[in-house]
Structure 1
Amino acid sequence: MKTVISLLFIFMVIVGCNSTKNVVTTDTVSKISDTVKIANEELEYEVIIIDPGFSSWIAGRALPRGYYSEAYLENKNQFYVAEWNNRVAQPMQYDSNLYLFRIDYDLTIRYGYEVNYLIYNYFIYFQNRYNQRLGGFVPKQ
């Protein structure tokens, strides 16, 4: 049923990042079919990735945790999020079925390795699956 349904809540929603804490305590990661949800109640954020195939892709094709440093993932995510939000703001130029929601990625918050790992890998998955380039080199994983 077209990409709109498969990309409903396409990426993630980071909600309520009203804190500038530099330490992430406990993240709750849950997987329900093709939905990956990461939540941290203390920092009041939630990341939801709903895209058919992402869970199996990350389990079988993504590079393992620890391959990239957290600093590398944060830097790449800053770049990808900026380009993603630029495309959300220009629905006449970019496919609005692919870029549905703005991503609130606060550079002052340390989300931790797991959050950055999943966000980064979603960007890689998204670019490869939908033949999109958010800029720079995209590894074929």
Structure 2
Amino acid sequence: MMKKLILLISISLLFFSCTTNQSTQNSVPNKDENSLKFEPNEDGDYDIVVFDPQYDIYLKTTALPKEYYSKEYYEQKNRQYVMIWNQRYMQPLAYNPDLYAVSIDLDPSIDYGYDFEYKLFNFFRFIEYKYRVRIR
């Protein structure tokens, strides 16, 4: 009887000691925190999702109203911003690779829509504002 009890306790200890540690570290930043991705919405237009809560605050409090500039203005400025951004992405020794972590594939033949162009334009302005860099 004693041998069975010791065997049962040993097996239980062995089982519990082999489980994985599932503690989470809240101090480790999420890799997607400041990433930018383009997604078509339900209407077929493209939308931007920025995983930085400060971007939405910036858009509501600091950015000029959408109607301040025309769609063509936003398209032209976004092409310039994307060109400079991608150049910096290709030079990780000269520019912060954490900031320019991804290249942006913006196809000038695609009509992304007025909202998309406005949000992309203000994404670049937000990066300039938050990180004190000039992308112009």
Query: Does the TM-score normalized on the shorter chain lie above 0.5?
Result: yes
Which structure has greater strand proportion? 1
Q: How many residues are aligned here?
A: 110
Give me the whole-angstrom Cα distance separating, in 1, the residues matched to 2:129 and 2:33.
19
Give me the whole-angstrom Cα distance separating, in 2, the residues matched to 1:46 and 1:119.
9
Give me the whole-angstrom Cα distance separating, in 1, the residues matched to 2:45 and 2:73.
24
Which runs of no fewer than 5 residues in structure 2 stay unpaired? Answer: 1-26
Kindly provide the amino acid, as one letter, of the partner of residue 8 in structure 1: D
12, 16, 27: which is aligned to 2:36? Answer: 12
Larger Rg: 2
Q: In structure 1, what is the equivalent of residue 10 of structure 2?
A: none
Kindly provide the amino acid, as one letter, of the partner of residue 48 in structure 1: V
Structure 1 outlier segments of 4+, above 4 Å? 41-46
Shift of 1:129: 1.1
The answer as to whether partners of 1:7 and 1:50 remain within 8 angstroms in 2 is no
Normalising by the residue count of structure 2, what TM-score does the alignment of the two structures yield? 0.70
| CA distances 1:96-123 after superposition (whole Å, capped 9, x unpaired) | 1111111111000011100000000111
Please report the RMSD computed on the Cα atoms of aligned residues, expressed in angstroms: 2.4
Please state if 1:127 is matched with 2:128: yes
Normalising by the residue count of structure 1, what TM-score does the alignment of the two structures yield? 0.68
Of structures 1 and 2, the one with the larger relative CO (CA 8 A, separation 6+) is 1
Amino-acid identity (%): 34
Distance 1:112 1:82, change over 3 A: same
Which runs of no fewer than 5 residues in structure 1 stay unpaired? Answer: 15-37, 136-141
Kindly provide the amino acid, as one letter, of the partner of residue 63 in structure 1: L
